[in-house]
């Protein structure tokens, strides 16, 4: 899944999933679900916009199913 690759790139800026979660104000379990290789959960529209603004990753790359052309 393309969006998972973008979230994985962002998450590597942090030492732990908890640090990433704390930085964006969500639970560690949400980050874990985003990064799951078995059944990943996609970020909400609000979280996608937050990730875009904080990490300068276009929302189209995070959620192409919603924001793609």
Parse the chain into domains and list their residue ranges: 2-67
Question: Which tens digit of pLDDT belongs to each residue from 24-63?
Answer: 999 999 999 999 988 889 999 999 999 999 999 999 999 9
Evaluate if pTM is beyond 0.85.
Answer: yes
Model pLDDT, residue 1: 61
User: Is residue 20 over pLDDT 80?
Assistant: yes
Cα(38)–Cα(41) distance, integer angstroms: 10
Homologous superfamily (CATH) of 2-67 is: lambda repressor-like DNA-binding domains (1.10.260.40)
């Amino acid at each position: 899944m393309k969006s998972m690759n973008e979230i994985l790139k962002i998450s590597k800026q942090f030492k732990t999933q908890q640090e990433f979660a704390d930085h964006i104000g969500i639970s560690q379990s949400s980050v874990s679900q985003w990064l799951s290789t078995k059944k990943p959960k996609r970020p909400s529209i609000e979280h996608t916009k937050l990730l875009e603004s904080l990490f300068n990753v276009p929302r189209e790359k995070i959620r192409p199913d919603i924001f793609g052309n």
